[in-house]
Amino acid sequence: MSLLRLTAIVRRSSALKALLAALPAATLLATQARADTSALTELVDAAAQRLQVAEAVAAYKWNAHVAVEDPDRVQQQLAKLSADAAGEHIDPSYVSRVFGDQINATEAIEHTRFAEWKLNPANAPAGAPDLSVSRSTIDGLNQTMLNQMVIHWDLLHSPSCVPQLDAARAAVTRARLLDRLYQQALALATQSYCT
């Protein structure tokens, strides 16, 4: 056996030993990740994604010199979602309350950005995507959230909801690397899930 081939075998053997040594830790991490999952993670993740759209919406509103609040749009959204909820045979007032919280949390992010840009105009966005793109994204996420509410309706109204919601918030916060502002907004957006 040549020295070159023997060296290659030893290197592979060392790499294999390192891989085998790391396997229990990787298995433990994978088990922990599964233990941290919640049936509500997809719902909470859609809520977090919807909150993140506030960045583009705030940039648009800042550049267009329009107010953060848009009561007509809010009423349209809540009316549509309430009607969709009734069509799915779930409580429209629950859905309206949950989405009202989501909208309030989104507006809080937008107000925060406006305050930051007012205090430091150099950080204000020079441009923003078309508002219709953001609204289309919001509408899609609203439907995802409503579908998740339908799927998990019994859980959302059970004693298991609070620990499942806490686990989902924690998982989404880690996965999306949410900062303090977004953690607060996510807590507000999801505060009425368990009733």
**pLDDT per position in the chain (195 positions), as tens?**
544 444 444 444 444 344 334 444 433 333 344 445 899 999 999 999 999 999 999 999 999 999 999 999 999 999 999 999 999 999 999 999 999 999 999 999 999 999 999 999 999 999 888 999 999 999 999 999 999 999 999 999 999 999 999 999 999 999 999 999 999 999 999 999 998
CA pair distance 55, 100, nearest whole angstrom? 19
Q: Which residues 6+ apart lie within 8 Å of 46 measured at CB?
A: 141, 144, 145, 148
Give the global pTM.
0.80
CB contact burial 164-173 (16+ within 10 A = b; e otherwise): bbebbbebbb
Going from N- to C-terminal start, the domains of the chain cover: 1-36, 41-189
- Just give the CATH number of 41-189: 1.20.59.10
C-alpha torsion 102→104→110→115, nearest 10: -150
